């Protein structure tokens, strides 16, 4: 029987500087990283992969002002961005300024935002937030986390969306359902509480990546790393992912 040819030293050397698991290759034949968790080299590789896949990732809620983004983000709770954007077209034509929302007829506003769900609570939040914006902040959405958190219906997630996407201020990381799921799958946190997840992400990400990282992770969660049956075969992070529910 013919002996198998000895493996060439040259070929073994060509595997690169990153530590690799023996013989493991992904479907895309990329080497599999053996470094795990929040090792800086792994985090850098994740950021690089997200940048490559989603170089133009941005907030998918259409808006023409910080106030519209605030309202749309409140409306997006338990609702898709697509549905919010549909409602927003007529909503912002009918209520063009914070004052229009602040002193609206609540029953009418409820019906106007009804398709987004939880419309009674959302109406209270939007009108309450609009009144504070008009009466305490001269009609301008405040630009600090502390002030934003004084608005009804605004928690850290909404405040981070507004600060990051309307003002370009990196005050934290938006932790929505996608960021929660992907942070866990990518082993960037052991926590399940959004505030603790945000704290973990802030620790491992450079501040100038906080805003874009949120967008890119949300895009990845919507397009590839979906909740049920993630599309791992299409994922450019697969070579460094060891999530329990991977599909390849
Ligand atoms: S390999 Fe699968 S589970 Fe891991 S990040 Fe990619 S899509 Fe998500």
Region of 21 please: left (phi>0), alpha (psi -120 to 50) or beta. Answer: beta
For 171-213, the pLDDT digits (tens) are 999 999 999 999 999 999 999 999 999 999 999 999 999 999 9
Contacts of 182 (CB under 8 A, 6+ apart): 217, 220, 221, 225
- If you average pLDDT over residues 209-231, what whole number do you get? 97
Is residue 35 within 8 Å of residue 19, measured between CB atoms? yes
Q: Ligand 1: does its nearest atom lie under 6 Å from the Cβ of 175? A: no
Q: What is the pTM of this model?
A: 0.85
Of 24-28, 57-61, 81-85, 211-215, which gets the smallest average pLDDT? 24-28
If one counts every other C-beta atom within 10 angstroms of the C-beta of residue 159, the result is 25
Q: Residue 33's pLDDT is what?
A: 72
Is 208 one of the annotated active-site residues of the chain? no
Q: Ligand 1: does its nearest atom lie under 6 Å from the Cβ of 218? A: no
Q: Ligand 1: does its nearest atom lie under 6 Å from the Cβ of 185? A: yes
Is 157 one of the annotated active-site residues of the chain? yes
For 62-99, the pLDDT digits (tens) are 999 999 999 999 999 999 999 999 999 999 999 999 99
């Amino acid at each position: 029987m013919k002996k198998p040819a000895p493996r060439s030293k040259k070929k073994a050397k060509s595997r690169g500087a990153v530590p690799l698991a023996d013989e493991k290759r992904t479907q895309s034949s990329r080497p599999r990283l053996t470094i795990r968790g929040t090792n800086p080299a792994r985090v850098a590789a994740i950021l690089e992969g997200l940048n490559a896949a989603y170089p133009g990732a941005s907030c998918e809620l259409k808006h023409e002002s910080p106030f519209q983004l605030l309202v749309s983000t409140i409306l997006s709770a338990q609702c898709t961005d697509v549905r919010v954007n549909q409602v927003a077209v007529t909503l912002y034509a009918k209520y063009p300024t914070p004052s229009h929302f602040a002193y609206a007829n609540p029953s009418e506003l409820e019906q106007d935002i009804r398709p987004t769900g939880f419309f009674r609570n959302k109406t209270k939040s939007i009108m309450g937030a609009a009144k504070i914006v008009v009466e305490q902040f001269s009609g301008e959405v405040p630009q600090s986390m502390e002030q934003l958190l004084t608005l009804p219906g605004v928690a850290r997630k909404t405040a981070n969306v507004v600060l990051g996407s309307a003002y370009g201020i990196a005050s934290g990381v938006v932790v929505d359902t996608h960021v929660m799921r992907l942070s866990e799958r990518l082993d960037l946190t052991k926590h399940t509480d959004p505030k603790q997840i945000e704290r973990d992400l802030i620790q491992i990400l450079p501040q100038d990546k906080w805003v874009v990282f949120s967008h890119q992770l949300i895009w990845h969660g919507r397009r590839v790393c979906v909740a049920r049956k993630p599309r791992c075969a299409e994922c450019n992070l697969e070579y460094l992912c060891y999530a329990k529910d991977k599909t390849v």
